[in-house]
Structure 1
């Protein structure tokens, strides 16, 4: 057997593993284009820790458009314009982190959805690499409307509370379809730290942040920044 033939033989198992990984990634994303995620890694880990689980899937048509506007205003104003990654936000986050102090993220709603649905909590480089791969796939296979629908349904909004429907009932005792602009802004305001802040009876910080979100929601509507979801 020649040297080149030996090398090809050694490479074959590696290529097989890589192909299997690619097919696994594609298959898992393709399935959830139509089928709601049953549970996420975070839900399972919290439940195993003894926490309750409130998770109610709802179609985007059964979620208030105000919540879509609120999360775009709060989390990702360029959601309809980017292809999964906001390079300007990432650059700003890297510069801020280099200066020290509080670590900032530059994750888009697409990246957060990839992380929430398919990956485990953490910040290691393997997870970040897989997050990038999944982000490309959901942008390609799902589109913006499905990405937003999944995001709103799996986001954590209180300890043991996942998704817009469970959050609306937990904090405001109503359906997600009936959320007012102010309530939607409060839910968006607590997204960065849903285990710390209260949307139902907010303190000064959440009230201030919700007010800024409400003001930004007007810009989202006026400038058509949610048109890829609500248009």
Structure 2
């Protein structure tokens, strides 16, 4: 019995050391990758790869359109449109909008139509580092990576990466590819109405099409334009 207890104690110690080493390796590797992406463009995301696999499985033509552009070459209208549409507190929070999270949780609890409470920072962390399927593990990792990118990247870089990897349609990623595909112009030339229409499809870019706007999309577009007119520009836009 004593030998058995001693064996279990040593085994637990080994497992604890292994878990600690894994944790340290994860923290260091995630910090290193985040620092790298603070400098270089993000080449691919898990969503891009997932969509390619789905296309292959359904015997569809493989489609992946994306063109990385620096934030200086993206219209202020587009930046303001996604802030107005997705996260109006983006310039001020540190990755999380606790009020929106609380309201979304209450609506879900009351059985109302669920709306996400994720900020642009959280969406970017998920898009770049994680996967789409919801789970407590993913949400926990999302918190970690959100804090990392807020600390290491800052608001301007978060917005730059968000607008370069977001899905804007079937096989279309990033605002430059979307602008060229839907409006046949570079993203730096997007008007306020065009930017608002692109931002309007972001909750479900595979369902809604800016080339064939529904009444809902037009209403959403008009609402976003109105919000843009009432919002102050973030500091990084004033410095552009």
**Is the shorter-chain TM-score for this pair beyond 0.5, marking a shared fold?**
yes
Instruction: Please say which of residues 139-148 and 47-56 is displaced more in the overlay.
Output: 47-56
Mapping 1:12-161, distance limit 5 Å: 12-50=17-55, 51-161=62-172
Does the 8 Å contact 2:163/2:174 carry over to 1?
A: yes
Structure 1 residue runs without a partner (length 5+): none
1:227 matches 2:235: yes
Does the 8 Å contact 1:144/1:229 carry over to 2?
A: no
| Other structure's SS at 2:168 match | strand
Does the 8 Å contact 1:58/1:153 carry over to 2?
A: yes
What stretches of structure 1 move > 3 A for 4+ residues in a row?
A: 3-10, 228-231
TM-score normalised by the chain length of structure 1: 0.93
CA distance in 2: counterparts of 1:48 and 1:153, whole angstroms? 21
Radius of gyration: which is bigger?
A: 2
TM-score normalised by the chain length of structure 2: 0.90
1:183 matches 2:188: no
Structure 2 residue runs without a partner (length 5+): 1-5, 56-61
**Matched residue count:** 227
CA distance in 1: counterparts of 2:12 and 2:214, whole angstroms? 64
